[in-house]
Amino acid sequence: MKREHVLPTPEDTRALGAALAEVVRAGDLVVLVGPLGAGKTAFTQGLGAGLGVREAVTSPTFVIARVHRGGRVPLVHVDAYRLGGVADVEDLDLDASTEESVTIVEWGQGLVEQLADEHLEVRLERRDDDVRTALLVPHGPGWEQRLSG
């Protein structure tokens, strides 16, 4: 899987998420990094669709975390934007569900990496021409191998 992507439309962003669904497995942590409007939720929608989640995947900004079942593996979608720090993440008790789920966290950089031995960071940006870009940054040999394969 390529590490750098140009995503002209929201559908392209969803398609990248769906492509990632082919290589994720239970226990994986994906951390989404990027400003408002960069495509974090669209990416997660694609990942959910690729996993076979049938319900709508929407930003969990006000509920902080949603669990989507019914797909190949449960998807835990977290929005850490309103969390004040690592202690707030620990209060969510996410590690109880990380072993059997794919956990994807918006705004989680610097807060959630301790939830897994390895993780994938997806850096999303929105250019001035409204085109999004994505950079997949593996943290750990497992992710390195999956993205190279």
Distance (Å, whole) CA 80 – CA 128: 26
Q: Residue 116, Cα to own-chain centre: how many angstroms? A: 14
Neighbours of 122 (CB within 10 A): 25
DSSP 22: T
Q: Residue 73, Cα to own-chain centre: how many angstroms? A: 14
Longest dimension (CA), the chain: 41
Question: pLDDT tens across 28-71, in order?
Answer: 999 999 998 999 999 999 999 999 998 888 776 655 677 788 88
In this predicted structure, what is the pLDDT of residue 62? Answer: 56
Contacting residues for 40 by C-beta, under 8 A, at least 6 apart: 32, 34, 59, 106, 107, 124
Class of domain 4-148: alpha beta
Helix, strand or coil for residue 127? Answer: coil
Domain locations in the chain as residue ranges: 4-148
More reliable by pLDDT, 91 or 15: 15
